[in-house]
Every structure is written in C-alpha cells, then in structure tokens.
Amino acid sequence: MEFVSGYRDEFLDFAALLFGWFRKFAAERGAAGASLEARGRQLEAQIRRLPQDPALWVLHVLPNRSVGISLGQGAEPGPGLGLGAARFLGDEPPLHLRDLSPYVSFVSLEEEAEEAGEGEEENGEPEGAGREKVDPQEDGEPAPTSRESPQEANPPGGPEKAQPEAAAGGGGRDGCREDKAEDEGVPERRKGRRSEAAPLHLSCLLLVTDEHGTILGIDLLMDRAQGGAGKGSGPEKLAPRAYGLLCHSMACPMGSGDPRKPRQLTVGDAQLHRELESLVPRLGVKLAKTPMRTWGPRPGFTFASLRARTCHVCHRHSFEVKLTPCPQCSAVLYCGESCLRADWRRCPDDVSHRFWCPRLAAFMDRTGELAALPFTYTAEVTSETFNKEAFLASRGLTRGYWTQLSMLLPGPGTPRHPRGSTPSLSLLLSGDPYQLLQGDGPALMPPVPPDPPRGLFGSWQDYYTWRGLGLDSPMAVLLTYPLTVYYVITHLVPQSFPELNIQNKQSLKIHVVEAGKEFDLVMVFWELSVLLPHVALELQFVGDGLPPESDQQHFTLQRDGPEVSVRSGSGVSGRLSSGTKEKGSRRDLQIKVSARPYHLLQGPKPDLVIGFNSGFGLKDTWLSSLPRLQSLRVPAFFTESSEYGCVMDDQTMAVATGGGTSPPRPNPFRSPFRLRAADNCMPWYCNAFIFHLVYKPPQGSGARPAPGPAPLAPTPAAPPAPARRRRGEKKPGRGARRRR
C-alpha cells in the first residue's frame, strides 16, 4: 500500500522525525570539523537576522542513569548511520513498535550491573567493579554520536512522554524525574534478546522546546555502558554542545514554524546556565537571569504532537524542504516538481499518481462529511493541526485506557494494563468495568440506565442522549469499537443478510480477527451487554499480533444486578460480587483469545466476523485468512480508516478469493479524532468506513456478484418430450443390457 497513515504506530512517526532531525544536525556538526568556529560565526550572523518568537524557549538537560540500548543482529554496523534511515523513512517502514525488536531493545543498566556484580562475586572479584557505568559520560567526538543515532530514535520519546506526568515536580530542572519515568515506562524491553556487545548508554539528552511544549531540537550524548567508569561529563563540556544545539534549533526548528529566535531563553541546569551567559547574547537572545528553578510548566503543558510531514517520494521532512500538495487532488505532499513528476510516471500505471489522482480528489471531497460530528470539540479534533497530546493532557486523560491513544509512557507507580495477562482479574477490583476508562477527574461514564434502550441507535447523538453523556465527553474515542459492533448487529446485518434473522437470536458468537489494539481495550466491549441486554455474547479475539502468553485464555464477565463479576476459564471467580444475583437478569460476556492467524483457528463456526482498520494489503496472512472466510461464508464486516484503504481491501479480496467487497459507507460511530498523516492530507479516522465481504459464488462462475442477499433460484423447466425413434434405429444401451 502506498499510504500507511492509519495503520502505523504514531510513535514511529515521532521517532522518525526525531531521528531525521538529529541525523541532519549531527551530519552538519560533523562536516564542520576544524571549521566549527567559522560555522558558528556564520550561524550567529544568520540567527541575529531572524524574526523573534514571543514565546519563552527552554533548554532541558535530561540525564539518564538507568536505561541502556541493546542492539540486535539486524542492527550490526554497516554502511551509513547504523540502523539506517530506511528503517524509519524508507519505502517499507515498520508499522509497529514491535517490528524494531530484532534491531533495538531496551535494557536496565541497573540489572546489568547487578548481574555483572553477581558474576564477579562468584569469580572472587570485587563487587563494585562494574557499577560506575551508570554515570553520565561524554566522549566529545561527534562521529560516534551520529553513528549511533538510529538506535536513539526511540529513547528520546521516553523522557518527553513522561514529562507531563512529572510536571508537578518542576519539569526538566534536574532531569531525574524524566529518567525514572523513562525507566519505568519502557514498553519494549526484552531481557532475552541482547547483542553480545555491551548496551549503549544514552547518558544525557539535551532538549529545546518552547513554553507550549513544541520540540524544536534534540541532541543525544552516547557512550558504551560497559567500561563507563571514569569522570562524568560536567556541564562545562555540555556548553559547546548546548550552544550548537540552540543555534541549529533556531535556524532549523524541528517543530512547526519558520526559522526564528526566542525572545528569552531559560536553562534547566545551574552550571550550564552560567556557561551560556557569555554565549547566548551573541545571538540577540536574552538569557533569563536565573536558571529554571522558579519556573515550571504551565498546568496545560505537554509535549505537543509534532506533525511529521514528509515528501511522499523522497521522505524528506518539512524542516528540510518546503512541502506542497498536488495541485490537482490536494491529497499527496511533495517537496518539488521532480518528485511529483516521478510519482506521476511510476510503473506499472495502476501505482502511479496519474492513475490515483482523480480517486484521491474524490476521497478529499469526503473531508467535510467525515468531520460532521455532534461533539462540542469537533472543530478541534478534526483539524489537520489537531494536537492530540494537548487535548488528552488538558482533560486529565493520561492513565488507564487513554494511554493507548497517547504517546505518553506511564510514570513511576502508575498501575498498568499488563499486556498478555487477563486485564479484568488484575484491574477490575471494584466491579466497575469502566474503571480503566476514567481520567484524573470525575467519573466519565454515568451509571447504566435502569431501562434497556427502546429503539436502535444510529448516531452518536442518539446514543449519548440515552446514556446520559454530554456532548463534551470524549468517550466516543474509546467506545467506537463496541458501538461499531452494535451498529453491525442491529443495522448492517439485517440489511445485507436478512435471512439470518440476527436480531432475534439470544446468543451470538463473534470473531474479532487480526485483533491487537482492540484486545488492549477489551473492557470497553462490556458496553455491548448494556446495549444488547437480551443477548449472551461471546467475543473471540484472534490474531498472531496478540501476546503468545494470552493464547487460549478465557474469562467471563457476568452482570449481577448493578455489579459485575469476573470468572476465569477455570470457573474460579475473580471477584465475588456484592450484588444480589438474579437468574433472570444475568447476561454474560465471554472473552476468548487465540494468538494465531485466523486461517489456523479451529472451532465452531461463528455467527459474525468483524475486523477493525484491517488493512488487507499490509499483512500476508490475509491472503490465507480471506479464503478461510470464503469457505465459512459467514457475514464478515470490516472497518477502514480511509476510503483508500477500502479500495485496497477490495483488490486484495479479489486476488485472494475472486470475490470482492461491498461499497464502503461512512461509519456513524467512527472515532472523532483525526489521525495524523505524514505524506498526505487525506482525512483518516479510526473506523471511518465499513463494508462487508462479498464471496465468490460456490459454482465458481468467475463473475463477481453484487453485494446483498443471493437472488432466488429460478424454477426448473419441464424436461423436453423424447423424440420419436425412426425405423431401423436401435435403442441405445440395448446391446449392453444383452451382454449382461
């Protein structure tokens, strides 16, 4: 697929932006060599002529003493900068953070030191021999720093994400809080996959932001964790690096906006502040009188969502070149006429922009329709410049399931959803299935209405009114998954498959295929039992992206009056409900997990199959799973984040089975958050469109049927009367009968 905006982990786009900017910064710094001072004088003269930014700029100093970076076999040094830009910016970029695990992972330097100490004790060596490596150290050489930059693309996200949760402690004054948050919140640490070489140590991170949290520049100080004992990198060594970073951040800001210099600058380290007192005024910038001791982040401070815009062809970022959309469709971003011409003339023709341009223009025409939502915050969250991190932080949505939508990492002591374990048994402590949907403020979900819904809901506004939610509630972002399933059961299946009579069934078995994020949000599906109280539901999450340790797990949520109890597959109750049990009112929601591709799943046939933001063209297992669905011939509905994805899914279905898909329709229960797109301007929303599979007829006629129920079989005609036998003709088969 040409565009992966709705499928790629947002953190990878963020890492690509950090890596691209740092690579450019390190290359220019290394190219200066002995002429570093001359280059500095050139930059100073250039910066003095820049316009002034009225916002305060902050230079954060974030030391790291706990987390190291372990390189796998796929990241062995080679030509170029280590891991290589293609891993983030190339034609086949990774879609998920776990895709980088063969190349880079995080390790605890404290555990490394403890293991080394234990080994030395066994060998009779001093215990403290290897424990000094956690001290910050800078080698002062630019080449090794730039060489290791690709592996550093993920670690910078750690301190930045933890910053909002540590904001109450004064932000980036000493960096210690950020270090601990990074250590506590690293999601991809894999103890069993380490390279033979000692892990790399990101000893210190220099970060330039404005007072609103927009990241403007970054510098990474690396050393090897092993053998790191020695004198640390004092602030006097940081001063030249910090000054060069400030100059580059003004001349080429990573975040949005043109080159500019700040009205005032404050520094998060007292000694570094003293070293910069004689340097910063050369740029025409006023340095704060004191270091960042009394200043702290504002209440709404967060590291702003960066719009990592890139050219669709050469993948250069907006801080390197000026990007403009195609003048005809306004959908695809290019850095210039040469990239536009190259994309226009690509071969074969059906992958060229010449072929796609009119279609993309039609997709762009749906922008207003997709943004037509009833919420009070609609204009903000459907904007191309939507700052999701600020939206979530300003509403206190920084814990529980809301962290699945954000790039925030949990801070120290924050309870987490241990992926792969049964979430209900570990976190559903009060019998409230909406516990993980709450923010830092008052309860976001009102009590369940005493009476079941009398009609069918076809829009967010109808559902919000019945549920007692105000239109300023952001719950639609999480509830898009169960409400989409509800819409399929109550509206789409009766329209497309009326012969199934699905609305009158008392139990439904539903397969959620290629599940990933949906399983991480499993408790939101409890809302289905509220909307469909007369139906006993079984949801089976299937996909090889699920944690292997969760395979074959099974637990049941039981509604006992106002309470909810949890029962594992073994029959042991996870929490005894305090409510009175009423046999007539109990409705169960069974959850099963199968961590395998769908075509390898064994078991009874489901009543319904559904997949969220499927992306058939992005995963090879669909070429086997779609024929499996063709053989089952069950109603199968899928959502996509854009019309482009629907077209690609139809093509993949035709290749895999000879069938197709129904015309996509906008999903009234789509997420209101507009997804960020790197190389295009198309509107992307989670669960934006919905369609169902149209199976090839069993007789294999080759013609693709129209979507909808199968036509009635024609009435067979009467057989023709046998012709009269002429004189002299023998009856057929008489000789054979005579031989018998």
Q: How far is CA 299 from the centre of its chain?
A: 26
Q: What are phi and psi of 75, to 5 degrees?
A: -115, 25
User: What's the pLDDT tens digit per position in 537-589?
Assistant: 999 999 998 888 888 888 887 765 555 555 665 433 333 333 333 343 446 78
pLDDT attached to residue 75: 47
pLDDT > 80? residue 448 = yes
Task: Please list, in sequence order, all residues whose beta carbon lies within 8 angstroms of the beta carbon of residue 31, skipping any fewer than 6 positions away.
Answer: none
Q: Is the pLDDT of residue 356 over 80?
A: yes
**Sequence-ordered strand ranges (E) for 165-248:** 200-210, 215-224
At residue 180, the 3 state secondary structure works out as helix
Q: Bigger pLDDT: 170 or 677? A: 677
Contact call for residues 502 and 607 (beta carbons, < 8 A): yes
| Closest among 566, 506, 512 to 536, alpha carbons compared | 506
What is the predicted pLDDT for the residue at 509?
Answer: 95
For residues 654 and 267, give the distance between their C-alpha atoms in angstroms, rounded to a whole number.
59
pLDDT, average across residues 128-155: 34
User: How many of the other CB atoms lie within 10 Å of CB of 464?
Assistant: 19
- Nearest Cα to Cα of residue 225 among 9, 71, 62: 71
569 by Cβ neighbours in 10 Å (0-12 / 13-18 / 19+) ranks as middle
Q: What is the mean pLDDT of residues 395-409?
A: 80
252 exposure class (CB count in 10 Å sphere: 0-12, 13-18, 19+): middle
Q: How far is CA 480 from the centre of its chain?
A: 16
The reported pLDDT for the residue numbered 305 is 61
pLDDT digits (tens, 9 = 90+) for 200-259: 777 888 999 888 778 899 998 876 544 443 334 444 478 888 998 999 999 989 876 789
Q: Residue 32: its pLDDT value, please?
A: 55
Lowest-confidence range among 200-204, 269-273, 712-716? 712-716
Q: Residues near 131 by Cβ (< 8 Å), separated by ≥ 6?
A: 113, 116, 117
pLDDT of amino acid 92: 64
Does position 172 have pLDDT exceeding 70, yes or no? no
Structure tokens at 86: 């293609």
Backbone angles phi, psi at 209, to 5 degrees: -135, 165
Residue 42: pLDDT above 90? no
List, in order, residues 6 or more apart from 663 with CB less than 8 Å away: 691, 707
Q: Does the pLDDT of residue 412 top 50, yes or no?
A: no
Confidence check: pLDDT of 156 > 60? no
Q: In Å, what is the CA distance from 82 to each residue of 189, 734, 740?
A: 20, 85, 84
Q: For residue 133, what pLDDT is reported?
A: 33
* Residue 379 half-sphere exposure toward CB, CA atoms < 13 A: 1
Distance CA 408, CA 181 (A): 10
Residue whose C-alpha is closest to residue 206's, from 151, 136, 108, 300:
136
Q: What is the pLDDT of residues 287-320, one digit of tens each?
A: 998 887 654 445 555 566 666 688 999 988 888 8
Statement: residue 531 has pLDDT above 80: yes
For a pLDDT cut of 90, what percent of the chain falls above it? 35
Confidence of residue 91 (pLDDT cuts 50, 70, 90): low
Residue with tokens 């910050």: 136
Q: Which of 155-164, 181-190, 279-288 has the highest mean pLDDT?
A: 279-288
Distance CA 408, CA 187 (A): 11
pLDDT at 417: 45
Cis peptide before 415 (omega within 30 of 0): no
Kindly write down the DSSP assignment for every residue of 604-642, as one continuous string.
SPPSEEEESS--GGG-TTHHHHHHHHHHHT--EEEEESS
What letter does residue 53 receive in the DSSP assignment? E
Instruction: Please state the rounded mean pLDDT for residues 324-328.
Output: 95
Find the mean pLDDT for residues 24-30. 81
Tell me the two tokens of residue 456. 């069918």
Q: And the tokens for 504?
A: 């009158």
CA dihedral of 567, 568, 573, 579, whole degrees rounded to 10: -20
Q: Which two tokens stand for residue 400?
A: 């529980």
Give residue 652's pLDDT: 95
**Mean pLDDT for the chain overall:** 75
Please tell me the least confidently modeled range out of 204-213, 270-279, 531-540, 663-672. Answer: 204-213
Residue closest to 630 by CA, chosen among 692, 542, 693: 693
Q: How many CB atoms lie within 10 A of CB 668?
A: 18
Q: What is the mean pLDDT of residues 59-77?
A: 70
Q: Which of 205-214, 379-388, 435-444 has the lowest mean pLDDT?
A: 435-444
Q: Looking at residue 450, what is its pLDDT?
A: 83
pLDDT digits over 669-694, tens only?
A: 999 999 988 899 999 999 999 999 99
Q: Is the distance from CB of 649 to CB of 626 less than 8 angstroms?
A: no
